[in-house]
Structure 1
Amino acid sequence: MEGSYSTRLPLRRGIATRLAMDSITVHDSLRPGQPVPFTPIEKGKISWYACGPTVYDHSHLGHARNYVSTDIIRRILLHYFGFDVKFVMNFTDIDDKIILRARRQRLLENEKKKKYTDTELTELGMAAFRAYAKSNLPNLVEGDDGPLDLNNYITRRDTTYGQVLAGGTLTGDGKPGDDEAKLKMHVNNMNSAVVAIGDNQLFSGAEEILLPYFDSLYKETFDTSDQTIFTSLTQLMENEFTKDMDALNVLRPDVVTRVTEYVPQIARFVEKVVEKGFAYEAEGSVYFDIAAFEKAGNTYARLRPESRNDKALQEEGEGSLGKSLGGKRSPGDFALWKKSKPGEPYWPSKWGNGRPGWHIECSVMASDVLGSHMDIHSGGIDLAFPHHDNELAQSEAHFCEHGRHVDHVLSYPKIEESGSKMSKSLKNFQTIKDALASTYTARSMRVVFLHGRWNDGVEITPSMRTQADSWETTVNNFFTNVKSLLVEANDTTTSLNNGVEGISISENKPIEGLLAELEQAKKDVDTALSNSFDTPQVMRVIADIIRKANISIGAPGGNSDLPAVESIARWVTRIVGILGLDANAKPPYDGLGWASAAASADMDPTTAVQPYEAVYNSVLSDAKSLNLPSSKALTDLFSQSPKSEFDSLAKAGLRDPEQLGLPFLRATSKLRDELRRIVPSVAPELKASILSLSDRIRDFDLTNIGVYLDDRPDGQPSLIKFIPAAELISAREEKAARETEKAKAKEEARIAREKAEAEKWEKAKISPQDMFKNDDRYAEWDSEGMPTKLKDGSDVPKAQLKKLKKEWDRQKKAHGEYLTKFGGT
């Protein structure tokens, strides 16, 4: 089934890039080690099949890593090297996970409709609770205190699995992995069930233990003739996946295939493998015959030979519903066609009602669209065995062309979290949707991935995020500053129409300075991308050339090589566009900086420029109402005509809102700069009004439309910078919050000072003669009020008298100050 085709526009490339098109090397899972030369079957064209998701749950960061990495390489091949790429991706919309999820959810919905008494609900909950423990945490089932119940569960849990729950491993050695993650998942499900059963809220907290329990009771009575039970789930999750990919700026596939749309072709494909002697039927299922395949001179498990006898991986590949299927000649043989049991969807075949095996789907769909040979096959590295190895074997068996089904297998790395892979089934993941709503933007996530090699594993650490954020900030600031300098130089309108390479270079003149640095950066990026798409090196090259451009920008006296800086900015724009870092940009990425989301060839210029024009008109009106002193400068500014300049730009075909708005922004900035210039010479009341208007223009009028005026000293004009309004507003609110907090602290300090001052004078108000009279430790005093006798009639000790005399002297001084300040005798 055809999907949405990605945009493919002609790309102007330098000679180095054209040469690299014929000298690309790629890491190949079939030939591990150093990258190997990449030679497409048909010159200039690439056929690519990507294993898509099994659509039964929301996509997580592991999927983001896989498909964003795929997208990066695809974009490089398309828009940097200029290949014609045919990209095919499948959706697995029927397999054991989908069957279980859809069936169990329907059974749960049916149970919720039944009428249960509180007692019946508790009994149902406890039956499911014990069944779940027996299946997943058997060590908890029996104990000295009798059968497992809500009262002894916590004690048994902590005694049996406390070490793992505290971050340890089941064996006591090494780091936690998938086994520990799975155990924690089961414990969490049991924990939730304990609370739900205790609160008599069974159906709103114990679903995870109820689902397998109801399935065990009713699965064989489940009517699967209506396959919408399954497709309603997969269609929903496929749509959610597509939304996630769109949000991540991942190009849609050229062709999308779905397993349920290929069942007849899959059955015929299996028949042919059987006819060739590489598969056999047993008890209604069909299995691939590994022994026969190898006896014919073929090699099995070419990707992961060390895993071919891994029983756990073999069972995972067959699926949880395939455990009860019988008739295999060898434990390693894998199902091409599965006999459908009661409660499972089915399709007709010569072997009876059944459904496709997991691995066969990709072989059939890939070859149907791309033929028996393809250039690239990609998928998760954790699928190398058995999924990709089985694909290779059954495809070679079908086409009888050993080693020619897949020319390159680019297997993508997994993301790790706490030592275990992200997994829907383990529930140890953050969804893409949640990640984009909380900790990432699509660009920042892609920047993180670009800083790692696509074929390396990755665990996202705080330092990795810091590095990525710093890189993005560097590029953001560079684009902003270059565009501001070009606006100031009044060259932006013409230079924006230049080619992607920026200024022209004479062949007779040696390249030097920044232009020489740019040419070297181009060569370095070309080398990196030709070397198995080495994006971390590309990111370093970009950061380095920007650093050198920034040095030029900051040169003393503003003596920067602005044309060369502009060329660097345009080249960086092109590369980040190719890498997919700008969702609003389109090939061939000829602009400067991140493209405006509002930019469109179909946009009405008058509508696009309205926010900028409105600000200018408001500022002009308010400035005229200030009763400013007359001057030629103000007269000229009041009579300037940004509208006519805008009309010329619109007539010339310019459609970028920021560029269309520049006439109004320049006029606004110049008027504000003049107002600030005359401030020292006007009366105080007018001065306050001018400063208030000036601050409002900068902090509110322009901030709210994504424009920042960078005020500069020594009478230099303000720089106009385009920065997303959300960022400017956030910064303004943070500043206001800091000022509010500062004012609050200042007020609290004032109140504390006044209180201390009042307490000081209240204490000083007491005469030294009276200060010890109310102290019940003493019985007699002398004429100056100093104690002479203690309460028990004894004399006050000399040491104590010495201390009391110091207090008396201090009070005498303070009391004297009080009398002087407030009067009295």
Structure 2
Amino acid sequence: MRSLTGLRTFFFHSFSPISLRSSNISTRRTAVVAFANPARTHSSLSFTPTTRRPFDMASSITVYNSLKPGQPVPLIPKEEGKISWYACGPTTYDLSHLGHARNYVSTDILRRILMHYFGFDVNFVMNYTDVDDKIIIKARRARLLDLEREKPYSSGEKRELVSKAFQAYASSNLPLLVSGDATLDENNYQERKEAAYGRVLAGGTLSGEGKPSDPEAKLKMYLNNMDSAAQALKSGTAFDGAEEILLPYLDSLYKETIDTSDHTMFTDLTSRMEKAFNDDMVALNVLAPDAVTRVTEYVPQIVTFVEQIVAKGFGYESNGSVYFDIAAFEKAGNTYARLRPESKNDKALQEEGEGSLSKSLEGKKRSGDFALWKKSKSGEPAWPSPWGQGRPGWHIECSVMASDKLGSQMDIHSGGIDLAFPHHDNELAQSEAYFHECGKGEHTWVNNFLHMGHLSIAGSKMSKSLKNFQTIQDALATTYTARNMRIVFLMSRWNDGVEISPDMRKQADNWEITLDNFFTNIKARLSEAEAPTDRVKDLSLSGTDAAKGGLIAELEKAKQDVDAAFRNSFDTFTAMQVILRLVRDANITMSEKGTSNLPAVEAVARWVTKIVGIFGLDASAAPPYEGLGWASAGATAAADVDPQTAVKPFAAVFSAVKGEVQGLDLSEASVQTLLEQQTPDTEFAELEKSGERDVEKLALPYIRATSRLRDELRVIVSSPTLEPKKKQAILALSDRIRDYDLTDLGVQLDDQTDKPSLVKFVPASRLIAAREEKSALLAEKAKQKEEARKAREKAEEEKWAKAKTSPQDLFKGDAKYQEWDAQGLPTKLADGNAVPKSQLKKLTKEWEKQKKVHEEYLTKFGAA
């Protein structure tokens, strides 16, 4: 079932439904989910001195459970050592954005901690919503626009259509634009926009109070769509640029004309978006679900499920739709809106839960009753049912699919916080109604409801409907790496909201750089000491060792603190701070004590490696995460490495450097010995024969051989007998080896006094960027130095040009004066008055100063 090459591909099949549902499904689609390898091999990890199995400690794990608001409550699985988990998956109608990343990455982190830290066997099920009002509308509108483009319209007819759509869109979404007598058009739009909504555009709110949030974000989205349409009307580009205002208008005109008997119009969209979502999850190193479900594959079971709810008296049919009877449910002793009781009568949320296409459904006994089955109207997909052609309500899908895979009760149900009401509350109600047995009290369908805090930007949640989002694809291409994004989420608690800010990004960057440098330095130090970097060590140090204090004691304290954080509702925020503190202590130890305390530093590095592996921060790592450090972004999986190909660039650098050193014709015996005796090819061959596939280790013989030659050149260049020309050539070669040859391969050489250079593996992109930054700084420094030189020269020229004037002529050309004495000092002003004594005193000082510099001029340049 699982391929072991690179990222594994999982094939999930829909199995027979639970006994209370029909299993007559006409078609079954095999799901291909290419998420990251869940690696479900669990082992007892030595993080604490305890010898108990991980699942024996489950009672001490607490979690924020939305069903029991307040402090975290104990997480007690219904079956020892196992956890059943259902996660609400995406509605596959558009590309996923950072808000989805927040949900699914945070969920993945919790799942990894349960699996790879506590050792639970987690059965993780996720659904795809592939029939929904948003999907129907988007697919139908896309079809209508395609049909409209095919019509033989003249340019004038197209313009008229867009103009009508322009006014209709404003009337529906921006009513202040169309108030008054004059007809709204592209020419008066800007003026009306500023008059009606200028306050919001300037950063204010619609009410004039508080801070901007979702209503203001939605208004700006509407205005952005109107801006594009107005520009399209002005430029005469017809439909191009006006799609967002044209689509709802076309839908209002022609939606009932679309033949929806062929569901491929909808499934083509959902299949495409599902694949895009899967690709995003692979890129984010999110583990694959153990099973996936789709609404369209469960319609017969959904019908049977709804029939059972109706048969028990908790649902009723009206005009071809079926509604959940909240009053009957509560009368039977059940509780409705257990997650968000304060939202129970929120009409806006109720309407949002029903979907935009369901506003005209009639026959509800009470406004809060929600649809289990919706009668399909023209332009909507439909399936047969005892109540006529229709389609599933939004909430019923999860109840049916989760119950099919996990039975009548599950340990965990998760999703974004915005789904708590009405989606999750309605899920709970209809599921508990389905499994309700008279006289046995309320049925518990979900033991723990976990809600991920959503991501916000400028005070509004990131949302497809608000169009204030950045897609995951775009974010990974321009702003984040998968590791960096995961660190951002790890540095906040999973159930808290996250506001993207520069400070938050900076903190995440600093955390990543600190760990990256730590791993690089410890591996370099171990390599320098020729200590193996791949052996598995017991990370549980004895009490005697811990009693010695120092770094070992800090490590033991960190283990306890992280364990406590994980048990406190998976508090990764605290765990991340503990790791950072420990790494800084290890860095100090490594700096102050050198190689004498390397074993303790290595123990820290291996434990930190294990924790960041559990966090999913290394896409190339697998449980039990017993390596050292993490792979650089984009690193090739070890199993896919061809050793000969991998080391070719390193071997080429050594060969080139060796040839150039030979060309220097140096007589020193030490150089000749290195040229003759170094055999990196032989060392590499032995590594290859042993099965080694780590590129860094395979390349090390060539890097060390190159570095040794360079180190010897650095020794020779200090010789007082070396010819200047040869010295210059050696220095140039030495710098080039360090700054270009090896840098371009991702190798950093740190020069050390009286010791071989320290070899560090650093992503080439980072080294090249640092080199270019250094080069730019040097160029800027040189530029500033040259500008300063020119400024000095100019000042010097101006000084002597002024000094050339004799003191007798200093004031003669000044129109402010009309008479001067024999020395050239002014005696009368231009108006005939005598020069005031105070002014004459100042002029005399200037005259004496000029006399001095003029004499210097005569001395330097001679008489003119």
Measured in 1, the distance between the counterparts of 2:670 and 2:99 equals 64
1:442 equivalenced with 2:482 (yes/no)? yes
Instruction: Say whether the 8 Å CA contact 1:287–1:334 is kept in structure 2.
Output: yes
Conservation of the 8 A alpha-carbon contact between 1:573 and 1:589 = yes
Aligned residues of 2:525 and 2:595 also touching (Cα < 8 A): no
- Note the C-alpha offset of 1:604: 2.8
Amino acid at match of 1:422: M
Q: Quote the offset at 1:366 in angstroms.
A: 1.4
Counterpart Cα distance in 1 of 2:289 and 2:246: 38
Distance across 2 between alignment mates of 1:774 and 1:115: 85
Q: Is the deviation greater in 632-641 or in 267-276?
A: 632-641
3-state SS of 2:60 partner? coil
Instruction: Give how far 1:161 is off.
Output: 2.6
Other structure's SS at 2:126 match: strand
- Report the Cα distance in structure 1 between the residues aligned to 2:662 and 2:53, rounded to whole angstroms: 57
- Other-structure match for 2:184: 148
Structure 2: unaligned runs, 5 residues or longer: 1-12, 14-30
- 1:268 corresponds in structure 2 to 304
Q: Deviations over 1:447-497 (max 9, x none)?
A: 1111111122222333322322222122111111111110111113xx42x
Q: Deviations over 1:657-703 (max 9, x none)?
A: 11122222222222212211221102322221111111111111111
Shift of 1:313: 0.6
Deviation at 1:164, TM superposition (A): 2.5
Aligned to 1:722: 761
Aligned length: 818
Q: How does 1:29-48 map to 2 (within 5 A)?
A: 29-48=66-85
AA of the residue aligned to 1:444: N
Once the two structures are overlaid, the 10-residue window that deviates more, 313-322 or 414-423, is: 414-423
Corresponding residue for residue 748 of structure 2: 708
Q: Is the 8 A contact 2:412 2:447 kept in 1?
A: yes
Task: Report sequence identity in percent.
Answer: 65
CA–CA distance in structure 1, aligned partners of residues 545 and 463 of structure 2: 58
* Larger displacement relative to structure 2 (734-743 or 76-85): 76-85
Counterpart code for 1:114: K
- Which residue identity does 1:823 align to in structure 2? G
Whether 1:819 and 2:851 are equivalent positions in the alignment is no
CA 1:545/1:634 → structure 2, altered by over 3 Å: closer, same or farther?
farther
1:626 paired with 2:658, answer no
Alignment match, 1:245: 281
**How many Å apart are 1:639 and its aligned residue?**
1.6
Residue 219 of structure 1 is matched in structure 2 by 255
Alignment of 1:200-349 (within 5 A): 200-349=236-385
1:171 is aligned, of 207, 214, 222, to: 207
1:64 aligned onto 2:96: no
Equivalents in 2 of 1:625, 1:79: separation in Å? Answer: 56
In structure 2, distance between residues paired with 1:56 and 1:541: 41
Shift of 1:57: 1.7
Distance 2:803 2:655 in 1: 64
Q: Residue 780 of structure 1: CA displacement?
A: 6.3
Instruction: List aligned pairs for 1:411-560, cutoff 5 A.
Output: 411-492=451-532, 495-496=533-534, 498-501=535-538, 512-513=548-549, 514-556=551-593, 558=594, 560=596
Say whether residues 1:756 and 2:795 are aligned partners: yes
Instruction: Give, in whole Å, the separation in 2 of the partners of 1:337 and 1:209.
Output: 31
Residue in structure 1 matched with residue 38 of structure 2 by the alignment: 6
In structure 2, what is the Cα distance between the partners aligned to 1:116 and 1:769?
A: 90
Q: 1:570, CA displacement in angstroms?
A: 0.7
Whether 2:674 is the aligned partner of 1:642: answer no
TM-score normalized with structure 1 length = 0.94
Contact 1:554 1:560 in 2 (8 A): no
Question: Comparing 590-599 with 45-54, which one deviates more in the overlay?
Answer: 590-599
The one-character-per-residue Cα deviations of 1:741-765 (angstroms, maximum 9, x if unpaired) are: 1111212222222223223333333
Q: Say which is worse superposed, 317-326 or 126-135, in terms of deviation.
A: 126-135
Q: Is the 8 A contact 1:177 1:420 kept in 2?
A: yes
Distance 1:510 1:426, change over 3 A: closer
Please say if residues 599 and 657 of structure 1, whose CA atoms lie closer than 8 Å, have aligned partners that are also in contact.
Answer: no
- Using the alignment, how far apart are the partners of 2:820 and 2:590 within structure 1? 82
Question: Which residue identity lines up with residue 463 of structure 1 in the other structure?
Answer: D
Q: Which moved more, 1:748-757 or 1:804-813?
A: 804-813
Q: 1:517 and 1:764, CA in 2 relative to 1: closer, same or farther beyond 3 A?
A: closer
Change (3 A) 1:500 1:221: farther
Q: What is residue 563 of structure 1 aligned with on the other side?
A: 599
Task: Flag the 1:627–1:267 CA change in 2: closer, same or farther, 3 A.
Answer: same
Residues of 1 paired with 2:831 and 2:72: CA distance?
Answer: 99
Paired letter, 1:227? H
State the TM-score, normalizing by the size of structure 2: 0.90
Greater mean deviation of Cα atoms: 481-490 or 757-766: 757-766
Q: Give the Cα separation in 2 of the matches to 1:787 and 1:122.
A: 82
Shift of 1:261: 2.1
1:268 Cα deviation (Å)?
2.2
Aligned to 1:361: 397
Q: Distance in 2 between matches of 1:120 and 1:602?
A: 59
Superposition RMSD in Å: 2.5
Please say if 1:608 is aligned against 2:640.
no
Partner of 2:412: 376
- CA displacement at 1:792 relative to structure 2: 7.3
Letter in 2 for 1:729: I
Offset at 1:432? 1.8
Displacement of 1:142: 1.9
- 1:389 maps to 425
Residue 659 (structure 1) aligned with residue 683 (structure 2): no
Partner of 1:346, secondary structure, is: coil
Deviation at residue 444 of structure 1 after TM alignment: 1.4
Question: Could you tell me how far 1:587 is from its partner in structure 2?
Answer: 1.6
Instruction: Kindly indicate whether the alpha-carbon contact (under 8 Å) linking 1:552 and 1:559 is maintained by their aligned counterparts in 2.
Output: no
Secondary structure, aligned partner of 1:7: coil
Q: CA deviation at 1:73?
A: 0.9
5+ residue gaps, structure 1, are none
Residue range with higher mean Cα deviation, 195-204 or 329-338? 195-204
1:33 alignment partner, SS class: coil
Could you say if the C-alpha distance between residues 60 and 602 of structure 1 is closer, same or farther in structure 2, counting changes exceeding 3 Å?
Answer: closer
Go from structure 1 to structure 2 and tell me whether the alpha carbon gap of 1:792 and 1:528 turns closer, same or farther (over 3 Å shift). closer
Q: Deviations over 1:579-628 (max 9, x none)?
A: 00111212221110013623413533222222222222222222222122
Query: How far apart, in 1, do the equivalents of 2:743 and 2:546 lie?
Result: 44
Q: Alpha-carbon deviation of 1:385?
A: 0.9
